[in-house]
Amino acid sequence: MSEKSSFEFQADVKELLNLVTHSLYSNREIFLRELISNASDAIDKIRFEALTKPELLEEKSQEYKISIIPNAEAKTLTITDNGCGMDEQELREHLGTIARSGTKTFLQQLKGTQELSSMDFIGQFGVGFYSAFIVSDRVVVKTRKAQTRGCQWASQGQGNFEIEPTGKFARGTEVILYLKEDALNFLEEFTLRGVVKKYSDFIEHPIALVTKKDGKETEEVLNSRKAIWLKSPSEIEAKEYHEFYKHLSHDFQDPLRVIHYRGEGTLEFKALIYISAHAPLDLYSPEFNSGLQLYINRVFIMEDCKKLIPPYLRFLKGVVDCGDLTLNVSREMIQEDPRLEKIKKNLVRKVLGNLAEWMEQNRKEYEQFYAQFGKVLKEGLHFDSEQRDKIADLLLFETTQTETGQYKSLKQYLEGMKPTQKEIYYLIAENRTKALATPQLEAFKAKEVEVLLMMDPVDQWVMGSLTNYQEKPIKSISHEAIDLHTEEEKKSVEENLKEQGKKYKDLLKAIGEKLEAQVKEVRFSPRLTDSVCCLVAETGTLTPQMEQMLKSLGQAVPVQKKILEINPNHPLLEVLQRLYESDHTSAQFADYVQLLLDQALLTEGAELTNPKGLSKRISDLMVRAATTPGNL
């Protein structure tokens, strides 16, 4: 390329730019944090690459440095670094598209909503380089990557940008901001000093403020450059922890919890870990950038090192610095280092222990955390059998005996159990209303036995991994025929079942035949007290809720016939019996039988295969009932 070419921003970028310039006004100083963080990243990058390719440095001795240069006459603020720079293609890609998946998700969610000014929301994603346009009418980026020639990017932050070659230029990047008239305060030294101190004090490379005094250039390093994770926790103020968190996460809100410790033993490392106050929107997306930053003796190695934490702790953000790891190898090789696995084990133990403490000491705050990340933590039941019991201790559930939004741990559930209760029961449901309307609950209500309500979609598969807690079996009441009766009651219930079974033997058989294609079996049930019937799945098959979920994900669900359980003492049985006796081949009997099954399907929230049929049967029934003499 020898001359100027013009490019359009990707559509997403245009939207983001619009958003940035219109909604970040009250927080516009963050542009400096973003540009300094990019400069620092670029230095980390070249420093790491030069370990194996020293020729990239081009010069022998080099002090890595970031400079901030205000120019009052030109009304420009320039931020330079001697980092990795960019070649033309990188320039076009990195400053013309949105790479971060979170930002994309965010934009999609934002479409059609009126949240345009919601700071917290935007803060979750970080706007990065584009934040330069909060304070600038025009931005010019001059850059040169080692062993390539320099090029220049320029834009007014509207639809397009231009790229052209530049002349001789040292390796690195120079970002020149042509400040807006109302942003000229960012030329003032004390403003710049304050902003750097506030957001970027811990940046490892020197950030120099370069000014001219009486024609002479002076440089003043603004940041203390202390890697915060290396300090002792007693020396660090909450404010410092929070600023570093914001730098790491691009979040505008303070974190909910800080875990800072030194791992000891065969391997020494420092870890500074944060838990955000809110879950990012892309937490469940496969592209979610989970992991912690990895440093080796203060040298930044990589962002999002996935080897350091298991996916069920992907909500953690932070830094791990381990001096024992070997620096002079490729990033891939570092990731293969078996010692990372050891660090991970230590981190998992520490974090789970810390969560347990938190739950004990500040339940209210813990619940706030749990509401955001409990669903993710639960995945650990399935994936980490070694820590299963510890994770189980950390879980919270609504139950049939709590109010909406009140939670009990499994331990609390055990404490509330009657001595006669030998098992822990749970019910999977879509929401509380549906849960409480489940016929299977009736017997539990009658006996005042508490049932855990599982209403997170993940519950369906993770709870299968948790078969007992403190030696008490855990059972799903939608799967298993659970008998809550005492020995004596059992006798009379069995007798009753037998008696009714005998009395309605033919009826039951006829119902079974009519519904043969739709259910596996029809039988009397000891567990219904109010409802006339319900459907039950056999142990080891999918619950109705699970089926619903798979269907909603577009998955093929194997057809599994269920068992229709009927309450042998419901008055409807007498009616059915009379219809059966008068003419079991009549259309009316067939309608009644079908209505029985439809009711069961409706109560479990399943989709009716023929809703029109149901509607017709009900209206026929209504007409018949109303036209029967003596009824109205």
Q: Where on the chain is the footprint of ligand ADP (CB under 6 A)?
A: 34, 38-39, 41-42, 81, 83-86, 94-95, 99-100, 128-129, 173
DSSP 472-499: EEEEETTTS------HHHHHHHHHHHHH
Q: The tokens of 513 are what?
A: 């035949």
Nearer to ligand ADP, 103 or 531 (CB): 103
CA 487/CA 480 separation, integer angstroms: 19
Residue nearest ligand ADP by beta-carbon distance: 128
Residue nearest Mg ion by beta-carbon distance: 128
CA 621/CA 592 separation, integer angstroms: 9
Nearer to ligand ADP, 41 or 137 (CB): 41
Cα torsion angle, 165, 171, 175, 176, sign: negative
**Piece of 90-98, 122-130, 137-145, 453-461 that binds Mg ion (CB under 5 A):** 122-130
Residue 444 in contact with residue 527, Cβ under 8 Å? no
Nearer to ligand ADP, 39 or 377 (CB): 39
Residue 45: CB minimum distance to Mg ion, A: 12
CA 574/CA 628 separation, integer angstroms: 18
Residue 107: CB minimum distance to ligand ADP, A: 14
Residue 46: CB minimum distance to ligand ADP, A: 9
Nearer to Mg ion, 127 or 429 (CB): 127
Residue 128: CB minimum distance to ligand ADP, A: 2
Kind and range of the H or E run holding 212 = strand 207-213
Nearer to ligand ADP, 171 or 375 (CB): 171
Pairing status of strand 172-179 against strand 76-81: antiparallel
Residue 99: CB minimum distance to Mg ion, A: 10
CA 158/CA 133 separation, integer angstroms: 10
Torsion of CA 274, 275, 281, 287, to 10 degrees: 50
CA 292/CA 274 separation, integer angstroms: 10
Binding at 157: pick from ligand ADP, Mg ion, none (beta carbon under 5-8 Å per type): none
Nearer to Mg ion, 24 or 394 (CB): 24
Residue 295: CB minimum distance to ligand ADP, A: 17
Detail the DSSP E strand segments found in 37-92. 66-71, 76-81
Q: Which of 42, 191, 33 is nearest to 127 (CA)?
A: 33
Does the protein bind Mg ion through residue 102 (CB under 5 A)? no
Helix (H, G, I), strand (E, B) or coil at 357: helix
Residue 622 in contact with residue 561, Cβ under 8 Å? no
Nearer to ligand ADP, 154 or 371 (CB): 154
Binding at 443: pick from ligand ADP, Mg ion, none (beta carbon under 5-8 Å per type): none
Residue 562, C-beta contacts closer than 8 angstroms, at least 6 positions apart? 519, 520, 535, 536, 537, 538
Nearer to ligand ADP, 14 or 432 (CB): 14
Q: Of 83, 128, 318, 457, which lies in the binding site for Mg ion, with binding defined by CB under 5 A?
A: 128
Binding at 173: pick from ligand ADP, Mg ion, none (beta carbon under 5-8 Å per type): ligand ADP
Binding at 374: pick from Mg ion, ligand ADP, none (beta carbon under 5-8 Å per type): none
CA 504/CA 527 separation, integer angstroms: 18
Q: Distances from the Cα of 228 to the Cαs of 34, 238, 247, in angstroms?
A: 19, 12, 12
Residue 127: CB minimum distance to Mg ion, A: 9
Nearer to ligand ADP, 276 or 567 (CB): 276
Q: Of 21, 38, 399, 525, which lies in the binding site for Mg ion, with binding defined by CB under 5 A?
A: 38
Q: Distances from the Cα of 479 to the Cαs of 219, 460, 482, 563, in angstroms?
A: 72, 12, 9, 11
**Piece of 38-46, 268-276, 378-386, 616-624 that binds Mg ion (CB under 5 A):** 38-46
**Number of neighbours of residue 233 by Cβ within 10 angstroms:** 13
Nearer to ligand ADP, 90 or 538 (CB): 90
Binding at 84: pick from ligand ADP, Mg ion, none (beta carbon under 5-8 Å per type): ligand ADP
Residue 249: CB minimum distance to ligand ADP, A: 11
**Piece of 17-25, 124-132, 511-519, 569-577 that binds Mg ion (CB under 5 A):** 124-132
Binding at 536: pick from Mg ion, ligand ADP, none (beta carbon under 5-8 Å per type): none
Name the site residues for Mg ion (rule: CB under 5 A). Answer: 38, 128
